[in-house]
Amino acid sequence: MDETLTQKNIRTRLAQPSDYERIISVMPSWWNGRNLTALLPELFLLHFYDTSFIVEQGGELIGFLVGFMSQSRQDEAYIHFIGIHPDFRQQAIGAALYERFFEICRRRGRSIVRAQTSPVNTGSVKFHAKMGFQVEYKDKVKFTKYL
Ligand SMILES: CC(C)(COP(=O)(O)OP(=O)(O)OC[C@H]1O[C@@H](n2cnc3c(N)ncnc32)[C@H](O)[C@@H]1OP(=O)(O)O)[C@@H](O)C(=O)NCCC(=O)NCCS
């Protein structure tokens, strides 16, 4: 998969704090008009950038993942947001970002990955199911993946 992405000049790197504004600027359109930017304050990019990723093609932002290792739960990690540019979906880019994050988790001794989405976001629910997450349905959809 990484080879295919390389052929398309799609590159993934660790995030930097300076990526914050670009991420925020694309979120409403990538989330189909839902403005979730208040759920992603700048502190995530200031304190968790080395467990977060940016995907670019020719310098254009086409994907990101913001995640972190739980400070309180030593065997857990959390993926707070993932977003892929609408024109680049269903090309396994989201899956590749999750796999990169899982790899960091394994290296850091984390065996549980959690995430959460809204029940209205059926695409995200299906994506997480494909990525091996178990679903708890409550007012929010909470996911858990055991590595
Ligand atoms: C959810 C999202 C991140 C998926 O990214 P993606 O790059 O399109 O996902 P992938 O191509 O890697 O898909 C991985 C698997 O999930 C499936 N999948 C992905 N999106 C899906 C959808 N909307 N409906 C059904 N299945 C989906 C793929 O078919 C693939 O399955 P496969 O392994 O059988 O081929 C992307 O649609 C997105 O950015 N959505 C808007 C933001 C969002 O909702 N983020 C999640 C909450 S924070």
Q: Structurally, what CATH architecture does the domain formed by 2-111 represent? A: 3-Layer(aba) Sandwich (3.40)
Look at ligand 1, atom 31, and give the residue with the nearest C-alpha. 130
51 lines ligand 1 (CB under 6 A): no
81 lines ligand 1 (CB under 6 A): yes
What is the pTM assigned to this prediction? 0.95
Under the banding of pLDDT at 50, 70 and 90, the label for residue 138 is: low
Tens digits of residue pLDDT in 25-66? 999 999 999 999 999 999 999 999 999 999 999 999 999 999
Q: Is pLDDT at 74 greater than 90 in this prediction?
A: yes
- 144 Cα to the center of ligand 1, angstroms: 17
- pLDDT above 90 covers a percentage of the chain that reads 86
- Residue boundaries of the structural domains of the chain: 2-111
Spatial contact of 29 and 46, defined as CB atoms under 8 Å apart: no
Interior angle at CA 15, CA 50 and CA 8, nearest 5:
125
Candidates 89, 93, 114: which one to mutate for ligand 1, based on the most atoms within 8 Å of Cβ? 89
Helix, strand, coil in percent for the chain, rounding step 5: 40, 30, 30
Under the banding of pLDDT at 50, 70 and 90, the label for residue 146 is: very high
